Each structure stands twice: as C-alpha cells, then as structure tokens.
C-alpha cells in the first residue's frame, strides 16, 4: 500500500532555532517528492520538488533532502521565524500514466514557533 508517514506529528520550537521534519514513504514506483507548507485556513504552497536523482534542494531557509534508497526525506528549517508556524506536508508522486490519483499526502507536521 502506498503510504507517506511524517514525524513528528507536532513540534514546538523557539524563534531562531533550527528544526528537522521527517518523511518516510512506501510509494512505488517513485516519481518525485514534494514538501508543502500549509498555513492554518489556507491552501498548501509548494516549497520544493525533488526527483529521484536529487539529494538536496534548498528554498531560502528551507532545505529538503531525499534518500531514494531508504525512502526517506527531511525538511530542515534554519533560523526559524514566527511565520514558519504552519503544517508541513510531505507528498510523494507515483510514476504512472496521467491518472489523477498519483499523489499520496502525508498527514503533516504541525510546527509552532514561539517567540
């Protein structure tokens, strides 16, 4: 069964600190892995997309890593800001035809950054 598991479920850190969110998946065959940020009451916004051949990708203070062998990804947030408080969703895409149900969403990690 295609699954995406994220940990921790929730996390509280102090402003300015770093943190790392984890994502393990069993989706196969693998096409790409995406990290989204979802603010409360808003739609998800893409942070990074990584294909099989990419090990790391950065977007400002966000750095995502991918180990396709162990089927693990992480999202590292550097020098956290209050505005980083949100849910971070790991989404894995299955390589297939153009059918719609190719994305498997993780349950998300709820991050709260406190001053």
Partner 1 sequence: NAGVMQNPRHLVRRRGQEARLRCSPMKGHSHVYWYRQLPEEGLKFMVYLQKENIIDESGMPKERFSAEFPKEGPSILRIQQVVRGDSAAYFCASSQLAGQNTGELFFGEGSRLTVL
Binding-site member from 47, 108, 111, 113 for partner 1 (CB under 8 A): 108
Residue 68 makes contact with partner 1 by CB under 8 A: no
Shortest Å, Cβ 1 to partner 1? 14
Beta bridge partners of 21: 75
Task: Evaluate whether 88 touches 13 at the Cβ level (below 8 Å).
Answer: no
Q: Does 96 bind partner 1 (CB under 8 A)?
A: yes
Q: Which is nearer to partner 1, 76 or 110 (CB)?
A: 110
Nearer to partner 1, 40 or 70 (CB): 40
CA atoms within 13 A on the CB side of 16: 1
User: What SS3 class is residue 75?
Assistant: strand
Spatial separation of the C-alpha atoms in residues 112 and 14, rounded to whole Å? 8
Provide φ and ψ at 97, rounded to 5°. Answer: -80, -160
Using only C-alpha atoms, the chain has a radius of gyration, in whole angstroms, of 14
Given the complex with partner 1, which of 78 and 93 has the nearer CB atom? Answer: 93
Of residues 18-47, those binding partner 1 (CB under 8 A): 31-32, 36, 41-46
- Give me the residues that bind partner 1 (CB under 8 A), please: 31-32, 36, 41-46, 49, 89, 93-103, 105-108
């Amino acid at each position: 069964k295609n699954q995406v598991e994220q940990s921790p479920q929730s996390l509280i850190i102090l402003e300015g600190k770093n943190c790392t969110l984890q994502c393990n998946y069993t989706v196969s065959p693998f096409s790409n892995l995406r990290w989204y940020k979802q603010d409360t009451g808003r739609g998800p916004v893409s942070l990074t997309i990584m294909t099989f051949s990419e090990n790391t990708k950065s977007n400002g203070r966000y750095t995502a890593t991918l180990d396709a062998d162990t089927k693990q990804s992480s999202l590292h947030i550097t020098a956290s800001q209050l505005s980083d408080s949100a849910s971070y969703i790991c989404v894995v895409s299955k390589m297939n035809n153009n059918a719609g149900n190719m994305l498997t969403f993780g349950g998300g990690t709820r991050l709260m950054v406190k001053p």
